[in-house]
Chain A
Amino acid sequence: MHTFLLSKIEVGSHLYVNFSDTLHLHGETVIVSSIVVLAVSLFLILGTSNLQRVPGPLQNFVEVVYELVKSIAVTQMGPSYYAQFLPFVATIFLFVLGSNLAGALIPWKLFEIPSGELAAPTNDINTTACLAILTSLTYFSAGFKIKGIGYFKRYIKPAPFFLPINIVEDFTKPLSLNFRLFGNVVADELTVTVICSLVPLIIPLPIMMLGLFASSLQALIFATLAAAYIGEVIE
């Protein structure tokens, strides 16, 4: 029986681009994330290239995004340190938002590829793992840069016997960031797909709206948490 589905129910099947026996790329993730990076860059370049005192619609939108990201960074890191980490937080926010929305809004089913299917880059656990590890590296280096060797005092606060808990926390932070984003995106897509396979018309629409809302919220949460982790190291 042929059913009309917006995407296939499959997790973990990819378009493999092999370089050697051990090294291979997930083709669809690379393609879609390049498109997202290009789109976001184009949006920012066009929005900021011709700055006016009375902003046009595009510049207005870019300013709203900037204000949002800046308020996240300022509330988590304080007014004296936020400026040097604002680019990182803004990049994370825009990339995650762009990839989630790309997965939700663009009908990727129309483009045929040999295996797997085009979908949100955050649908692949490697993308979210990369973002989470980047966040970890950033707060380590932020701590070293601002506190020097005194950074390690953080591990024996509030008391020395908290040392193992604090060390474990360094590993659980990226893990939870990773799973939170990946799980939410995959859960959205699976819910929509399953409901589409049961009732293809009208009924999935509210779920899709919920998915759109949830995926924007996930971008906000990822950026907030990244800023909070940096902020708690440097405070």
Chain B
Amino acid sequence: MVDSIVSAASVIAAAIAVGFAGIGPGIGQGNAAGQAVEGIARQPEAEGKIRGTLLLSLAFMESLTIYGLVVALSVLFANPFVG
């Protein structure tokens, strides 16, 4: 009985972890990509440099979502509270 409650709570917790972890980085990546497009439109000759910096910073923002995913995975597959 207790175990099934813990499992149900874990599944909900995993969903919430991934879901909320997606919000912030999504907004941030959107901002960054928009600014990069603006920069390329204003200065097309700087495209290569802007693209490199954009990809690197996008990957950093992506990693914030990935932290949420790691928490979700550890709750689903390596749950410390299930006996």
Interface residues of A (CB under 8 A from B): 10-12, 176, 179-180, 182-184, 186-187, 190, 214, 217-218, 220-221, 224
Contact = CB atoms under 8 A, between A and B. Distances in A.
B77 A187 contact: no
B41 interface: no
Contacts of B63: 176, 179-180, 183-184
Nearest to A178: B70
Q: Name A's interface SS.
A: helix
Contacts, number: 42
Q: Name B's interface SS.
A: helix
B78 interface: yes
Contact of A179 (B56, B60, B67, B76): B67
Nearest to A11: B77
A179 B59 contact: no
Contact of A11 (B59, B67, B78): B78
Interface residues of B, number: 14
Contact of B66 (A11, A187, A217): A187
Contacts of A221: 56, 59-60
B66 A183 contact: yes
A235 B56 CA distance: 22
B77 A12 contact: yes
A180 B69 CA distance: 10
A68 to B, nearest CB: 12
B12 interface: no
B73 interface: yes
Contacts of B59: 214, 217-218, 221
A11 B55 contact: no
Lowest 3 CB-CB distances: which A-B pairs, in order? A183-B66, A180-B63, A11-B77
23 contacts: A11-B76, A11-B77, A11-B78, A12-B77, A176-B63, A179-B63, A179-B67, A180-B66, A180-B67, A183-B63, A183-B66, A183-B67, A183-B70, A184-B62, A184-B66, A186-B69, A187-B69, A214-B59, A217-B56, A220-B56, A221-B56, A221-B60, A224-B56
